[in-house]
């Protein structure tokens, strides 16, 4: 089927694609070696740094977390070759006043900045690697289309809603209480771990803790007509009970047994989740204590059939509403480390830690190439502390100058990379922070390759 191309078109797109493919400029110099580094901080524009890192790290990164400028107000500085093109773009037929054009003029440079960086980032990920990107309403729709293009729509994993401000920012007709984390996998089988269940399993038998999970199939699409193998009677023997007061079940009718058939919530015909073979393997005849399936009496006198479910983990949910993930928490944490709020809007450690927990196994490497004050390194360390992991972390931060009137500047931090460095040294000590600095330089000069941290 042919037709107009589907996807994001924006001025500067071709140059942005060319940027991703052009050779790296400059080189990286080792500013501090740390053989036992927990974190490597790379100072420089992430476009060139990602290209330089890709020689050595292509296909090796387990998880990337980034918190790019959200393209609100002045958080994104127009630079580079696309700016002139995008700023002068007047939209179809040269009109300028159309608000749609104004929005495009604002978004296009941002997309042109993000596109090559995301392409380079994807190539750094392992096949099972995962990318997490924080973003808010201003650009989430564009970013999702961009990521669909870079990773493939089928590699979309989740659009997580993070409650960042419960009270809401109420300058809009509807007060905004949340932002997002977009998650994409690099290959067909992204590693997205399950999380420990919030509460302990309530029951226990000789095999350990468990909870009861109904064997009735709740999927309304499955019926006795289309799943005949899941529609059969189970017999409940009320003479045999376990410690939790559950009854033994059997596939064989018995004189004292009660016949139970699958029923939906309105009493209509339904099916079980398991076929007879699987059920037979789980039942220990006459011993509900050892059996993997038991029955319980309902208030109306009928009986429900339950699986003893021993799984201690559960899938992450797409809504994260945790006081430790509120925006203000990030500033509190930075103030606690450096004595003052030297950087606007650092992310809460817990939010990034959750991404690390989901996306990176205990020996993996996490990359953040919009590092800001370095929160991701602290999140990696916190996850290591919790599960005994040995994850390492690479941060890339442009030495963006701090405004002369800012608290940071007055405190002697002339750029954002210096704030990150101070925070990392505070958290890890000098000997565990390696650092590299990007320098412009003619091609062919010695290029100091970054060491894996
Ligand atoms: C929203 S902040 C990230 C904050 C960070 N998550 C934290 O918790 O501190 C985005 C950061 O990306 C940096 N940045 C923007 N463009 C960059 C570039 N081209 N290369 C490297 N860093 C860049 C900015 O200086 C800013 O510090």
pLDDT in tens, 232-249: 999 999 887 877 788 999
Ligand 1 midpoint to CA 211 (Å): 45
The single residue listed with the structure tokens 């499955």 is 222
The residue whose CA has the least distance to atom 21 of ligand 1 is: 398
In this prediction, residue 342 has a pLDDT band, given cuts at 50, 70 and 90, of: very high
User: Is residue 346 in contact with ligand 1, taking CB distance under 6 Å?
Assistant: yes
What's 111-138 look like in SS3? HHHHHHHHHHHHHHEEEEEEEEEEECCC
User: Is residue 372 in contact with ligand 1, taking CB distance under 6 Å?
Assistant: yes
Ligand 1 midpoint to CA 188 (Å): 30
Residues 6+ positions from 73 with CB-CB distance below 8 Å = none
CATH class of 25-196+314-439: alpha beta
Judge whether 275 and 230 are in contact, CB under 8 Å: yes
The pLDDT value given to residue 315: 96
Pick from 70, 329, 398, 437 the residue to mutate for probing ligand 1's pocket: most ligand atoms within 8 Å of its CB.
398
Span 371-378, mean pLDDT?
98
Q: What is the Cα–Cα distance from 251 to 253, expressed in whole angstroms? A: 7
User: Is residue 397 in contact with ligand 1, taking CB distance under 6 Å?
Assistant: yes
Q: What is the Cα–Cα distance from 117 to 322, expressed in whole angstroms? A: 30
The pLDDT value given to residue 86: 47
User: Is residue 370 in contact with ligand 1, taking CB distance under 6 Å?
Assistant: yes
Judge whether 307 and 296 are in contact, CB under 8 Å: no
The pLDDT value given to residue 447: 44
- Condensed to tens digits (0 to 9), the pLDDT of residues 105-124 reads 789 999 999 999 999 999 99
pLDDT at 453 over 80: no
What's the predicted TM-score (pTM) here?
0.87
Indicate the Cα dihedral angle 373, 376, 380, 386, nearest 10°: 80
Backbone angles phi, psi at 212, to 5 degrees: -90, 130
Q: Is residue 444 left, alpha or beta, with left meaning phi > 0 and alpha meaning psi from -120 to 50? A: left
Q: List, edge to edge, every strand of the sheet that includes 203-205.
A: 203-205, 208-214, 303-309, 293-297, 247-250, 234-241, 258-260
How far CA 429 is from CA of 38, 239, 340, 433, in Å, comes to: 10, 66, 19, 7
The pLDDT value given to residue 81: 36
The pLDDT value given to residue 100: 62
pLDDT at 90 over 60: no
Q: What is the Cα–Cα distance from 34 to 388, expressed in whole angstroms? A: 21
- Condensed to tens digits (0 to 9), the pLDDT of residues 274-319 reads 999 999 999 998 888 889 999 999 988 889 999 999 999 999 999 9
Mean pLDDT, the chain, whole residue set? 90
Structure tokens at 272: 């079980």
In this prediction, residue 98 has a pLDDT band, given cuts at 50, 70 and 90, of: low
Backbone angles phi, psi at 186, to 5 degrees: -85, -30
Backbone angles phi, psi at 200, to 5 degrees: -70, 150
User: Is residue 350 in contact with ligand 1, taking CB distance under 6 Å?
Assistant: no
The pLDDT value given to residue 288: 84
Judge whether 282 and 291 are in contact, CB under 8 Å: yes
User: Is residue 347 in contact with ligand 1, taking CB distance under 6 Å?
Assistant: yes
How far CA 37 is from CA of 252, 313, 370, 399, in Å, comes to: 63, 31, 20, 21
Backbone angles phi, psi at 109, to 5 degrees: -65, -35
- Number of neighbours of residue 178 by Cβ within 10 angstroms: 17
Q: What percent of the chain has pLDDT over 90?
A: 74
Q: Which atom of ligand 1 is nearest to the CA of 79?
A: 19
Q: What is the Cα–Cα distance from 60 to 321, expressed in whole angstroms? A: 32
Ligand 1 midpoint to CA 371 (Å): 5
The residue whose CA has the least distance to atom 12 of ligand 1 is: 370
Q: What is the Cα–Cα distance from 251 to 47, expressed in whole angstroms? A: 64
Higher-confidence position of 421 and 4: 421
Judge whether 240 and 247 are in contact, CB under 8 Å: yes
What's 200-236 look like in SS3? CCCEEECCEEEEEEECECCCCCCCCCCCHHHCCCEEE
User: Is residue 134 in contact with ligand 1, taking CB distance under 6 Å?
Assistant: no
Q: Which atom of ligand 1 is nearest to the CA of 117?
A: 19
Cross-strand pairs, 272: 216
In this prediction, residue 155 has a pLDDT band, given cuts at 50, 70 and 90, of: very high
- E strand or H helix at 375: helix 375-387
The residue whose CA has the least distance to atom 17 of ligand 1 is: 398
SS3 20: helix
Q: What is the Cα–Cα distance from 41 to 348, expressed in whole angstroms? A: 19
User: Is residue 67 in contact with ligand 1, taking CB distance under 6 Å?
Assistant: yes
- Condensed to tens digits (0 to 9), the pLDDT of residues 61-86 reads 999 999 999 998 766 654 443 444 44
The residue whose CA has the least distance to atom 5 of ligand 1 is: 372
pLDDT at 328 over 90: yes
Pick from 53, 69, 436 the residue to mutate for probing ligand 1's pocket: most ligand atoms within 8 Å of its CB.
69
pLDDT at 451 over 60: no
Query: H helices within 242-342, ranges in order?
Result: 276-282, 327-338
Indicate the Cα dihedral angle 106, 109, 111, 117, nearest 10°: -150
Ligand 1 midpoint to CA 368 (Å): 9
User: Is residue 342 in contact with ligand 1, taking CB distance under 6 Å?
Assistant: no
Judge whether 427 and 378 are in contact, CB under 8 Å: yes
- Number of neighbours of residue 202 by Cβ within 10 angstroms: 10
List, by residue range, all CATH 3.40.50.150 domains of the chain: 25-196+314-439
Judge whether 349 and 375 are in contact, CB under 8 Å: yes
């Amino acid at each position: 089927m042919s037709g107009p191309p589907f996807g994001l078109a924006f001025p500067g797109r071709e140059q942005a694609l060319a940027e991703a493919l052009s050779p790296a400029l400059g080189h990286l110099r080792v500013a501090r070696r740390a053989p036992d580094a927990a974190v490597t901080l790379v100072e420089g524009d992430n476009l060139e740094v990602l290209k330089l890192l890709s020689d050595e790290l292509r296909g090796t990164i387990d998880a990337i977390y980034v918190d790019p400028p959200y393209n609100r107000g002045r958080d994104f500085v127009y630079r580079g070759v696309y700016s002139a093109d995008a700023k002068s773009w007047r939209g179809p037929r040269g009109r300028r006043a159309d608000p749609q054009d104004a929005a495009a003029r604002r978004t296009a440079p941002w997309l042109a900045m993000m596109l090559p960086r995301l392409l380079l980032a994807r190539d750094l990920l392992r096949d099972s690697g995962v990318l997490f990107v924080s973003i808010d309403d201003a650009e989430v729709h564009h970013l999702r289309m961009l990521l669909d293009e870079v990773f493939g729509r089928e590699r979309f994993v989740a659009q997580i809603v993070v409650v960042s401000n419960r009270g809401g920012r109420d300058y809009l007709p509807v007060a905004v209480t949340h932002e997002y984390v977009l998650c994409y996998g690099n290959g067909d089988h992204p590693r997205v771990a399950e999380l420990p269940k919030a509460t302990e399993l309530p029951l226990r038998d000789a095999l350990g803790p468990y909870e009861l999970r109904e064997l009735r199939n709740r999927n309304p699409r499955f019926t006795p007509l289309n799943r005949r193998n899941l529609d059969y009677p189970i017999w409940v023997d009320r003479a045999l009970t376990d410690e939790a007061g559950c009854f033994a079940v059997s596939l064989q009718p018995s004189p004292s047994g009660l016949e139970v058939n699958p029923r939906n919530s309105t009493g209509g015909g339904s099916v079980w989740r398991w076929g007879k073979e699987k059920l037979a393997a789980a039942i220990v005849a006459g011993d509900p204590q050892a059996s993997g399936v038991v029955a319980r009496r309902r208030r109306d006198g009928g009986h429900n059939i339950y699986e003893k479910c021993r799984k201690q983990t559960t899938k992450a949910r797409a809504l994260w509403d945790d006081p430790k993930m509120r925006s203000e928490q990030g500033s509190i944490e930075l103030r606690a480390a450096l004595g003052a709020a030297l950087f606007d809007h650092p992310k809460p450690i817990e939010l990034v830690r959750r991404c690390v927990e989901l996306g990176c196994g205990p020996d993996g490497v996490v990359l953040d190439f919009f590092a800001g004050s370095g929160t991701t390194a602290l999140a990696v360390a916190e996850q290591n502390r919790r599960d005994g992991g040995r994850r390492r972390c690479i941060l890339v931060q442009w030495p963006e100058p701090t405004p002369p009137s800012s608290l940071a500047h007055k405190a002697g931090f002339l750029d954002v990379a210096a704030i990150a460095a101070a925070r990392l040294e505070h958290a890890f000590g000098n000997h565990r922070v390696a650092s590299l600095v990007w320098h412009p330089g003619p091609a062919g000069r010695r290029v100091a390759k970054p060491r894996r941290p």
